[in-house]
Amino acid sequence: MFEFRVIDITDKERITKALSKSQFMGCEYSFANNMAWRRLADSQIAFYKDFYICCSFTTEDGIPRFFLPSGEGSYIEVMGAMKEYAYSLGKPLRVAGVTETSLEMLNELFPDSFTVDTDDGDWDYIYNSADLIELSGRKYHSKRNHLARFNELGAEFSLMTEKDFDDCITFSAVEYNNKTDISDRSFIAEQYAINTYFNFFNELGLTGGVIRIDGKVAAFTIGEKLNNETFCVHIEKADTQYSGIYVGINNSFAKAAAADYKYINREEDLGLEGLRRSKQSYHPAFLLKKYTVTFK
């Protein structure tokens, strides 16, 4: 039976090995994300032979939400064990993070055994790295205009070092304190995630970028390699009093950190209309559709 527990930095080597075997493109298949966002839904981890499993135990309907295991071995065996564990809790097995390719696999292995749901707010926005770096063509005309205004600010971009950490944490804290409802659980969880990224920045293998104007932080971003073809941007913060600042941090970071990758995953829009418009405005190569399956 599984022994679920809180993730720890000492798990990185084993989890990263399993993630590397699967080469999944979804943003939830990141050790850094799993560790940083664990408080949002009481996420815990377990291992089954050469598989790694993450599960959110705090859900609206009380049914634990497992993520499709990463690693190698028999999916019939590991899913059977997960099903038995869920039943021991008096719950059906629910598995999230299932892409279209993985859904085909599950349908072949477990025909007519589960129902399928999806929420497009959970779909990841995947961009061609070259598009975000070059911003070429008519579709990026407005972005180039924003970038031109940004270039007039006299801003300085640099890859993040430990010398930037305190200033970036302060910048993030000020933004958090300016929110209208800081009691919102997601805002609190985000602050925990940001602090985790900084506290374990080097151990997590993260890369960051910082924009300073007149010596002060005006924007920062953090990301990492997700798989062999994909770089994932986990967090992006900017002071919107500066025209073009978000286009500036996006473009500068893509050039500095993601030029060697085919794709950039900028994660979900969470169903937030403003965030959705922003992500769509960069013209994703495709949306990584993700499904949740619930076994009967």
Q: Kindly state whether residues 175 and 254 are assigned to the same domain.
A: yes
The mean per-residue pLDDT over the stretch 149-164 comes to 97
Of 26-40, 111-125, 184-198, give the lowest mean pLDDT range.
184-198
Q: Kindly state whether residues 208 and 177 are assigned to the same domain.
A: yes
CA of residue 69 relative to chain centroid, distance? 17
In the structure encoding, which two tokens stand for residue 12, read together?
A: 């990185």
What is d(CA 7, CA 227) in angstroms, rounded to the nearest whole number? 20
Q: Kindly state whether residues 247 and 132 are assigned to the same domain.
A: yes
Domain assignment present for 235: yes
pLDDT tier, 180 (very low <50, low <70, confident <90, very high otherwise) = low
* Residue 197, strand partner residues: none
pLDDT of residue 185 exceeding 90: no
Domain assignment present for 79: yes
Q: Kindly state whether residues 149 and 212 are assigned to the same domain.
A: yes
Q: Kindly state whether residues 132 and 262 are assigned to the same domain.
A: yes
User: How much is the pLDDT for 186?
Assistant: 76
Q: Kindly state whether residues 93 and 201 are assigned to the same domain.
A: no
What pLDDT digit, counting tens, does each position of 48-75 carry? Answer: 999 999 999 999 999 999 999 999 999 9
User: How much is the pLDDT for 176?
Assistant: 76
Q: Kindly state whether residues 135 and 211 are assigned to the same domain.
A: yes
Portion of the chain with pLDDT greater than 90, in percent: 93
**CATH number reported for the structural domain that contains residue 232 in this entry:** 3.40.630.30
- Cβ(56)–Cβ(65) below 8 Å: yes
Q: Kindly state whether residues 106 and 206 are assigned to the same domain.
A: no
In terms of Cα–Cα distance, which of 76, 68, 63, 64 is closest to 99?
68
User: How much is the pLDDT for 106?
Assistant: 98
Q: Kindly state whether residues 134 and 119 are assigned to the same domain.
A: no
CA of residue 38 relative to chain centroid, distance? 12
Portion of the chain with pLDDT greater than 70, in percent: 98
pTM for the model = 0.95
User: How much is the pLDDT for 1?
Assistant: 76
Domain assignment present for 273: no
The three-state (H, E, C) secondary structure of the chain, written as one string: CCCCECCCHHHHHHHHHHHHHHCCCCCCCCHHHHHHCCCCCCEEEEEECCEEEEEECCCCCCCCEEECCEECCCHHHHHHHHHHHHHHCCCCCEEEEEEHHHHHHHHHHCCCCEEEEECHHHCEEEEEHHHHHHCCCHHHHHHHHHHHHHHCCCCEEEECCHHHHHHHHHHHHHHHHCCCCCCCHHHHHHHHHHHHHHHCCCCCCCEEEEEEECCEEEEEEEEEEEECCEEEEEEEEECCCCCCHHHHHHHHHHHHHCCCCCEEECCCCCCCHHHHHHHHCCCCCEEECEEEEEEC
User: How much is the pLDDT for 285?
Assistant: 98
Domain assignment present for 287: no
Q: Kindly state whether residues 140 and 167 are assigned to the same domain.
A: yes
User: How much is the pLDDT for 15?
Assistant: 98
Total structural domains within the chain: 2
pLDDT tier, 181 (very low <50, low <70, confident <90, very high otherwise) = low
Q: Kindly state whether residues 66 and 193 are assigned to the same domain.
A: no
The mean per-residue pLDDT over the stretch 257-270 comes to 97
The mean per-residue pLDDT over the stretch 196-216 comes to 98
Domain assignment present for 65: yes
Q: Kindly state whether residues 139 and 263 are assigned to the same domain.
A: yes
Instruction: Give the chain's mean pLDDT.
Output: 96
User: How much is the pLDDT for 41?
Assistant: 84
Q: Which domain holds residue 185?
A: 127-267
